[in-house]
Structure 1
Amino acid sequence: MSKRALIRKEIDAIYAEGAVLGEAFQNNQDKQFQYDYQRWYTKALKAVATLAPDRYAEFRNYYEIDPKRKSLGYGSYVIQDFFKNVIPSGYPNFDSRNQALRCFFNQLTLFKAIAERIDSVVANIEGELYAELQDSEIVIARQLAKVRLRAAGALMGVVIEGHLQKVASSHGVTVGKKNPTNADLNDPLKSASVIDIPAWRKISFLADLRNLCSHKKDAEPTKEQVEEFIQGAEWLTKNVF
């Protein structure tokens, strides 16, 4: 099961637990609701903080008493008030259970909505991790170039190839070969207008440098060529998406 599927499964389970909890509360099982809600809220709050940080404060505000609250009434009553058996004065017909239930269902509705963000959030996390990995490999290549120029060039060739494959995949560009090289990826990306002609030419040049580092045994790459290759890989990973 993929990472996204596992996260979605967990979110669905938390939501289902909340739905059962709300039904129990509607059936006047107040003590059970108070006990189970605390466990549910702890799990749900963490999920909201991760998947919807912009809704985090709103989610908390349905439960937690605002320390700056100046008055208590229909608009400011929260679930924590209900648990503390607090009832606002001046409202003879105030239904504390109904107000607490309203707050809870607002939380549940908000929580349901964050499931739609799973794909984008996981994609962002994966993208950030991938970018960090590329940056670290570029640093390693520069250190490796001080010892073995070919090895540094070979590493950058792998970085470029992996990045171009990721770009092709994200744009739905079909590549004929099962294990395409940089050159095999370059033309389809240009044909699909993912990259322009200057970028295509630069990638073609980088492909030549990779061949020099990885395949041509009759000519050794120079320090300047390997450094240009590393700089080209760095440019590619920061500018072609």
Structure 2
Amino acid sequence: MTKREEIQKEVEALYQEGTKLAVAFQKKEEKQFQYDYQRWYTKALKVVSVLAPDRHAEFRAYYEIDAKRKSLGYETYVIQDYIKNVVPNKINYPKFDTRSQTLQCFFNQITILNAVSEFIESNLSNIEGQIYSEIQDGGILIARQLLKVSIRAAGALVGVVIEGHLQKVADAHGIKIGKKNPTISDLNEPLKAAAVIDTPTWRKISFLADVRNICSHKKDIEPSKQQVEELIQGAEWLIKNVF
């Protein structure tokens, strides 16, 4: 079972747990709703925050009392009110059903969780992409700082960033690379052969590979600061333009 499949299974189990709890609550069969719901909500909130951050605030809003709330009624009642045994004014809302309102909020949360489950593949891919992008940006930032201390080390670090990016491009296009630990050149050639990159881009990457080799392998030649600055700029260009 892959990691994605494991996550899918866990999210589905959490969805089913919430559904059963909601049904029991609706039928007034629950014995300890507050405890069971709090346990479910804590787990579900974390899942939504990671896999669907754009729905996180909405998910919380169905449970958490708005600190800026000015009145309590049908549109502002949340699950936390029920747990705290808070009810609207009986004069203004004589037929207000706290269980019905709580169930509606709970149902909305379960629906959001179900949506996360349906799009988990794309959500995980987006997360992985965001994380990797942050790692790339961090590597380039460190290289710029390292340039003040060691030109060769800065160039070697950027070379790793370029290799990692080109490997992801190859993977995205289904291009198999023969070597276990391919260099920039080992990745550049197959990408050109598969028409993923054009000749000008291939030449630019070839130049970057040469500079990287000077920084990492040719100890008898010292790389210049200008060369490594061009290597860093080239890496930034690749990340933004070659996919």
- 1:15-94 aligned at under 5 Å gives the runs 15-64=15-64, 67-69=69-71, 72=73, 78-80=78-80, 83=83, 84=85, 86=87
- 1:90-101 aligned at under 5 Å gives the runs 97-101=99-103
- Identity in percent: 66
TM-score using structure 2 length: 0.75
Find the residue that maps to 1:229 and give its secondary structure: helix
Which amino acid is 1:14 matched to? L
Q: CA deviation at 1:109?
A: 2.1
C-alpha separation between the residues in 1 aligned to 2:137 and 2:22?
48
Q: Which one is further off, 136-145 or 228-237?
A: 136-145
Confirm or deny that 1:127 pairs with 2:129.
yes
Q: Which one is further off, 204-213 or 114-123?
A: 114-123
**Do the aligned residues in 1 keep the contact of 2:208 with 2:231 (CA within 8 Å)?**
yes
C-alpha separation between the residues in 2 aligned to 1:65 and 1:206?
55
**Structure 1: which 5+ runs fail to align?**
none
Q: 1:53 to 1:212 in 2, by over 3 A?
A: closer
Q: 1:14 to 1:144 in 2, by over 3 A?
A: same
Q: 1:230 to 1:20 in 2, by over 3 A?
A: same
Partner of 2:214: 212
Q: Which one is further off, 171-180 or 94-103?
A: 94-103
**Do the aligned residues in 2 keep the contact of 1:52 with 1:117 (CA within 8 Å)?**
no
C-alpha separation between the residues in 1 aligned to 2:213 and 2:19?
60
Match of 1:181 among 169, 183, 199: 183
**Structure 2: which 5+ runs fail to align?**
none
TM-score using structure 1 length: 0.75
Q: 1:102 to 1:228 in 2, by over 3 A?
A: closer
**Do the aligned residues in 1 keep the contact of 2:51 with 2:127 (CA within 8 Å)?**
no
Q: CA deviation at 1:240?
A: 2.2
Partner of 2:231: 229
C-alpha separation between the residues in 2 aligned to 1:226 and 1:85?
64
Q: Which one is further off, 108-117 or 172-181?
A: 172-181
RMSD between superposed Cα atoms in Å? 3.5
C-alpha separation between the residues in 2 aligned to 1:178 and 1:127?
22
**Deviation sequence 1:2-27 (CA, Å, 0-9, x none):** 66455445433422321231232244
